[in-house]
Amino acid sequence: MANLGIPQNTIEILQKYHFNFQKKYGQNFLIDTSVLERIIAAAQITKEDCVLEIGPGIGTMTQYLAEAAGQVVAVEIDKALIPILAETLAPYENVTVINADVLKLDVRQLAEEKNGGKPIKVVANLPYYITTPIIMGLFESGVPLDSITIMVQKEVAERMQMGPGTKDYGALSLAVQYYAKPEIVANVPPNCFIPRPTVGSAVIRLTRHREPPVDVRDDHHMFALVRASFNQRRKTLANGLSNDPQLHLGREQVTAALEKMGLPATVRGETLSLEQFAQLSNLLKGK
Ligand code: SAM
């Protein structure tokens, strides 16, 4: 089968099937062999690995994954792509294609069935319109994971790596860093895709922490605090948290906890580190 990373081969298969790109599915297909090689290298895939690919498109990256991995499970929402994948992936016996919306799929059960509950690797050139729900869904649902290596919008990749006190630091940075170590491994310009996206892209590897990096008693409570403080970014943390209807916290309770942490009552959420959010959650949640 021809390498679809070569633009001419992609164009030929798209024409053969009269394929129409669906904007609503975030379809931008990779046409650059060196980017594909870098993604596979960054994901550190071996023949021992079971890889979940989200959105295989016409199977460009799937071909590379099938060569490198023991097993590949590829989940594609667009049924118009299924006959194309049947042709482009025909030579590979270690690939299963599932026609489904990944957000509605029980990935944990899939990992159990395909890999006996051992950690899987996720590799994807993600549809950008659902980047955050896909990543958070994977982390929060308790799917056994080694790493997630994904192409995302460049700004989103940068946000995942940010620390306190920067403009782009937010709930996504804290969530990603609680679950994993983020490392941007490549910047990818629009001309590496067909059709060209309007934004720059980056490949980021999120290596799952074996142990959580902070000691927090109730991580759901911590993330409720994180969301409330970044929802009201311009307010002080004490106001933001005591105004939140779901948290049921009094202003005095919050300022007392901040004082215990050596922080002023006027502190803003965007200056707190993950460790400080964990500490605050432990103080407010009680024993
Ligand atoms: N992997 C291919 C490549 O690199 O050329 C295609 C990447 S394209 C950016 C994103 C792919 O995800 C498309 O094939 C799109 O149809 C698929 N997709 C979009 N939303 C999805 C969803 N909710 N579940 C599964 N696949 C989805």
Q: For residue 203, is pLDDT > 80?
A: yes
Instruction: For Cα atoms 241, 160, 119, give the angle at the middle one, nearest 5 degrees.
Output: 105
Q: For residue 20, is pLDDT > 60?
A: yes
Quote the pLDDT of residue 121: 98
Q: For residue 259, is pLDDT > 60?
A: yes
Tell whether ligand 1 has an atom less than 6 A from the beta carbon of residue 5.
no
| pLDDT classification of 232: cutoffs 50, 70, 90 | confident
Mutating to test ligand 1, I would choose from 17, 23, 29 the residue with most ligand atoms within 8 A of its C-beta, which is: 29
Cα–Cα distance list, 212 to 175, 217, 219, 226, 274 (Å): 11, 11, 10, 17, 11
Residue nearest to atom 18 of ligand 1 (CA): 55
Mutating to test ligand 1, I would choose from 89, 125, 199 the residue with most ligand atoms within 8 A of its C-beta, which is: 125
Q: For residue 1, is pLDDT > 80?
A: no
Q: How much is the average pLDDT of 268-273?
A: 94
Residue nearest to atom 17 of ligand 1 (CA): 55
Read off the tokens for 66.
């099938």
Q: How much is the average pLDDT of 113-138?
A: 95
Tell whether ligand 1 has an atom less than 6 A from the beta carbon of residue 72.
no
Quote the pLDDT of residue 258: 96
User: In b/e form, how buried is each residue of 58-79, taking b as 16+ CB within 10 angstroms?
Assistant: bbbbbbbbbebbebbbbbbbbe
| pLDDT classification of 287: cutoffs 50, 70, 90 | very low
Taking the centre of ligand 1 as the mean of its atom positions, its distance from the CA of residue 54, in whole angstroms, is: 6
Q: pLDDT by residue (tens digit) across 22-72?
A: 999 999 999 999 999 999 999 999 999 999 999 999 999 999 999 999 999
State the Cα–Cα distance between residues 108 and 85, nearest whole angstrom.
24
Q: For residue 256, is pLDDT > 70?
A: yes
Tell whether ligand 1 has an atom less than 6 A from the beta carbon of residue 32.
no
Quote the pLDDT of residue 228: 92
| pLDDT classification of 178: cutoffs 50, 70, 90 | very high
Question: Residue 204's Cα: distance from chain center in Å?
Answer: 9
Tell whether ligand 1 has an atom less than 6 A from the beta carbon of residue 137.
no
State the Cα–Cα distance between residues 192 and 156, nearest whole angstrom.
18
Tell whether ligand 1 has an atom less than 6 A from the beta carbon of residue 216.
no
Percent of the chain with pLDDT over 90: 92
- Residue 235 CB: number of other CB atoms within 10 A? 16
| pLDDT classification of 286: cutoffs 50, 70, 90 | low
Would you call 235 helix, strand, or coil by DSSP? coil
State the Cα–Cα distance between residues 264 and 192, nearest whole angstrom.
49
Quote the pLDDT of residue 24: 95
Instruction: For Cα atoms 239, 242, 248, give the angle at the middle one, nearest 5 degrees.
Output: 170
Q: pLDDT by residue (tens digit) across 82-123?
A: 999 999 999 999 999 999 999 999 999 999 999 999 999 999
Taking the centre of ligand 1 as the mean of its atom positions, its distance from the CA of residue 125, in whole angstroms, is: 7
Mean pLDDT for the chain?
95
| pLDDT classification of 167: cutoffs 50, 70, 90 | confident
CA atoms within 13 A on the CB side of 9: 16
